[in-house]
Structure 1
């Protein structure tokens, strides 16, 4: 009879990628030192989504334990994990003291020592009352605030080399497999750079995303200013009944940012094309409407153009490696016609604009003429708008590029992030059900493909934007929760999406629900929950 650890060690000899989790009789489990009899074992490696997420979470704990070990006098007041940047996590210290290169080197050295020691990451289950007491004694008050709303009577904690913490999600069995990471000084903190599931044994090059980091930094300061930076803080506001006023403040902050964008456009008199791009469920349509209103308030006559109206005819659409139509590649757009029309408009000529019929797969012309006058400006929305290959004939000075995304500034607590991707996924799930009648199973099944398209066609160009707009609101998951949960509960154990649905349901448990009726009618969130004043 063998233990699970022994079985994993034996199986690892046959595999290239690192085993980090297992399925025992179909149920996902952490690797533990327990005897196994006739159970069916499946091995989960770091080349899977859940495997690499577990790896990243485990390295994060490794870093926190190492930081705790070398900052014995608590000079820095501990670490807070703020947001994702350049395939890693941006971290800062609670006392906002400068991190030196020597400290970074010492931190990496201590992390490597813990890896070489191959220490077990011990899991313990405490009553919620005892967990609150433990973290209160250790000064982790963000966790105390979070656990005050805990429905379960128990909480799992993890211990590594004397350091104890709570984490949302599974953890590796021991430190010996956590070999691949790097740390870079960045801005006022540092980035813990981590591998991807595509190359789980390679740390990608660190590419400083200055514009993205600045937007995330600004959003983090907003959240801190409003006391909406953690889920526990958000739940407190819902409990105290003041979330409605905070919603209005958040909307005002976003409107202020839109006004700032219009003021930037006004300083560039040659701009005729406002190009807007962003990943799925960023709220591009509502943002375009609100931007257009502010443009009109400043004397412009905006006209909305959707790049999707310039799709090539269906039979000319490229196919992907699976033989399916690839509507997200640049070649799916009739680039020649798009540039011909935009150049004519720039030169003061008139065009008949097309409308793409998605049922017939063809462009249609219905006598809709367009000509740009002195005060006219085009607001163009499409996933390739930041890529100059889309608009190669247009002078750079005629284009103003905006990148929009839901860059979640909310964290579960100081060490557990709310993933920007998870926030967008919940948005899309709710919108797909409301507007297309699509169930959560379909949305989840498509999400991996959507993400691949974003990685290829959108994210590489985000730093090319003249400005970035964050459409995320700290309170939105409380509103989306009551709509998303029943959709996720419809996914059964027999569905391939069950494990992801289960993860999302566990994630949403953190949030107190909030009534969607309180959301302002012009909010970007209305694009997903419905009831907005714009046609989307």
Structure 2
């Protein structure tokens, strides 16, 4: 059989067809975690796991552990390690992974029995020390259902039953099976740095951040955020909407219209409850709204304003974007790029002086900033707060106390909003909040600005960096948090997102790899007609057709 040529850096490797990728990196067998080993490759732009085989000549590029793609492979393998260890120690119990919290993922058992963190951690380290392998297997539909039922993975059975494909790929270690939705390592040997701690009836599986891969950061609790996750979970349970299988079933049996109305009613009640809380405080004159990209801040602020009007307030919306400096005045990053995300990109002196004047009852000419001309103009008619006026101020820095150092805390109320996705594919495969927001932003930016999916995915690491520096550190300052994710939204976003993701070209490497991963989990979700979405829904901010002026 004719040999193939694999180009890797300056080298050209001659190999047999169907060579396993991990064989190309045999010299890394004895590397440690801190040696930043190879955890995958980009083969002509396609992300491939070390367990996969190369059939034809190609060019490859290593994916190191300490990279954006590498960290996902590490974390997915780490999660599978905990599931595998649990299946050995507690074989009759079912574990579920939920949301992220404090540099980790929250896990819990579906029963109320006790568990030992010590035993779980010891078993995990034993598996790592033994360098146990992870196999990728393909099972027929019938075999998959049989094995999953034997292991009591009923939610995965429900999911694949809605798909009814001929076969499915699984990752396997011992008798532990999981749907293969993301790349994993071929063995557990590199999973050296992690921690488990008990938390709220379950446990947090914690991992290092790639900024400081040599350590796990000190744990910072966020009880308010956890309470919002728990509240969302209870709300979904009330209407029997707990997984993608439930979503698919509702679409199939046409009960989805009722589910949408119930989910939107829950959102409406939450927004009204926030307005009521503001009203009870009496002294609140300013509401700050902050959250990461594509959280639905604009629609939320408009819906909250309507609820405040029903309580007798006159809400006036102000955007922090109107206080931007011109490009020449904006600070630069260490790389020399303009840092539009930092607090110093705003005219803080103007904002703070105007805010103090407004609270003192003085008239103010409010600014309007044009991103096109990079110029600020001021309203001709001065604005003055009346007794029933409430300022609703939206912007990413809304929870940063440096924004309003001279204000009496009793006069403002702070809301943190984010799309905190709650639906899992199944017990072992969570859908990250970040992925939900990427899809929202991609659909919106293509519709409103003509931005390609490719460009959105390429820019996302910059967006994430800004959020890590300027939004997430202050989320604990919020008086109230709200989850803007709606249980049905991925089915609505899918028909818009799938063609955009398929348009990403292979030569864009990381963007292409992310697009393939997103397409993989969207393939499990039935598409839903957007005409079922109410006009005042937060989702309309992204797909269009909103009753509000949000574009």
TM-score band (shorter)?
over 0.9
Residue by residue, what CA displacement relative to the aligned partner does 1:39-94 show, whole Å, maximum 9, x if unpaired? 6443212112221111111111111111111114x2xx311111111111101111
Residue by residue, what CA displacement relative to the aligned partner does 1:102-124 show, whole Å, maximum 9, x if unpaired? x0111111111111111111221
Stretches of structure 2 that go unaligned for 5 or more consecutive residues are 1-14
Structure-2 separation of matches of 1:245 and 1:61? 36
Matched-pair contact (CA < 8 Å) for 1:3–1:36: no
Matched, 1:525 2:539: yes
Matched-pair contact (CA < 8 Å) for 1:281–1:424: yes
Matched-pair contact (CA < 8 Å) for 2:257–2:532: yes
Matched, 1:534 2:548: yes
CA distance 1:285–1:41, change in 2 (3 Å): closer
Matched-pair contact (CA < 8 Å) for 1:17–1:200: no
Deviates more, 1:3-12 or 1:493-502: 3-12
Structure-2 separation of matches of 1:276 and 1:251? 20
CA distance 1:410–1:37, change in 2 (3 Å): closer
Matched-pair contact (CA < 8 Å) for 2:397–2:471: yes
Other-structure match for 1:79: 95
Alpha-carbon distance, 1:330 to partner: 0.2
Structure-2 separation of matches of 1:402 and 1:52? 31
Deviates more, 1:227-236 or 1:457-466: 227-236
Matched-pair contact (CA < 8 Å) for 1:98–1:189: no
Structure-1 separation of matches of 2:178 and 2:327? 53
Structure-2 separation of matches of 1:535 and 1:3? 54
Matched-pair contact (CA < 8 Å) for 1:232–1:412: yes
Residue by residue, what CA displacement relative to the aligned partner does 1:464-490 show, whole Å, maximum 9, x if unpaired? 100001100010010010011111111
Residue by residue, what CA displacement relative to the aligned partner does 1:405-459 show, whole Å, maximum 9, x if unpaired? 0000110101100110000000000100111111111111111100100000000
Deviates more, 1:89-98 or 1:291-300: 89-98
Alpha-carbon distance, 1:180 to partner: 1.0
Alignment partner of 1:81: what SS?
strand
CA distance 1:473–1:325, change in 2 (3 Å): same
Structure-2 separation of matches of 1:487 and 1:36? 28
Alpha-carbon distance, 1:512 to partner: 0.4
Structure-2 separation of matches of 1:154 and 1:503? 19
Matched, 1:132 2:151: no
* Equivalence map 1:410-425=2 (5 Å): 410-425=423-438
Matched, 1:508 2:527: no
Alpha-carbon distance, 1:151 to partner: 6.4
Which of residues 23, 31, 36 is equivalent to 2:50?
31
Alignment partner of 2:369: what SS?
strand
Other-structure match for 1:206: 219
Other-structure match for 1:190: 203
Alpha-carbon distance, 1:34 to partner: 6.8
Alpha-carbon distance, 1:33 to partner: 8.8
Structure-2 separation of matches of 1:38 and 1:533? 54
Matched, 1:238 2:251: yes
Stretches of structure 1 that go unaligned for 5 or more consecutive residues are none
Alignment partner of 1:533: what SS?
coil
Which of residues 343, 348, 357 is equivalent to 2:361?
348
Count the aligned residue pairs: 530
Deviates more, 1:398-407 or 1:145-154: 145-154
Which of residues 194, 217, 235 is equivalent to 1:181?
194
Residue by residue, what CA displacement relative to the aligned partner does 1:250-299 show, whole Å, maximum 9, x if unpaired? 11111111111112112212211100000000000000011000000001
